[in-house]
Amino acid sequence: MSSTGEAGCRFCQGNDLLTDAPLGGNRAFYMLGSIDPEMPHAVMIILRRHAEDPFDIWPEEWAELGEMLLKAKAHLASCNPDGFTLGWNVGAVAGQHVFHVHLHVVARFAGERNAGKGIRAVIRS
């Protein structure tokens, strides 16, 4: 798989714009921990090849995503989550800020303020 990048993209590793080191990866994806202080128990699974959104992921890359989801779950296991929310923001109107494929994996907890509320609650509010 190609590891082509786009100038100025902070998730293209060849640009050296990451503020933290990857937590692991495979041929198609790498994983970063959250740097958002309001979401300390989250990771992002990021496509190594530059593509703007998940609609541009190649079939052989999709085949490697399952392994990364297991790595994300294992990484977040130490905080004993009660569940997870997985999400893609595709396009500016949907909240995408970095136009490079990345999947958010967020640990969820029974006692949190938004317990029991999933992605639909965000869209409806």
Is the pTM here over 0.75, yes or no? yes
How would DSSP label each residue in 30-94? EEEE---TT--SEEEEEESS--SSGGG--HHHHHHHHHHHHHHHHHHGGG--SEEEEE---SGGG
From residue 115, how far is each of 89, 109, 118 by CA, in Å?
Answer: 21, 7, 8
For 38-60, how does the pLDDT look when each residue is reduced to its tens digit (9 = 90+)?
889 999 999 999 999 999 999 99
Total residues belonging to the chain: 125
Q: What CATH topology corresponds to 13-124?
A: HIT family, subunit A (3.30.428)
Per-residue pLDDT reduced to its tens digit, 53-106: 999 999 999 999 999 999 999 999 999 999 999 999 999 999 999 999 999 999
Question: What is d(CA 114, CA 59) in angstroms, rounded to the nearest whole number?
Answer: 34
Lowest mean pLDDT among 1-10, 22-31, 44-53: 1-10
Domain range annotation of the chain = 13-124
On the CB side of 53, how many CA atoms lie within 13 Å of its CA?
11
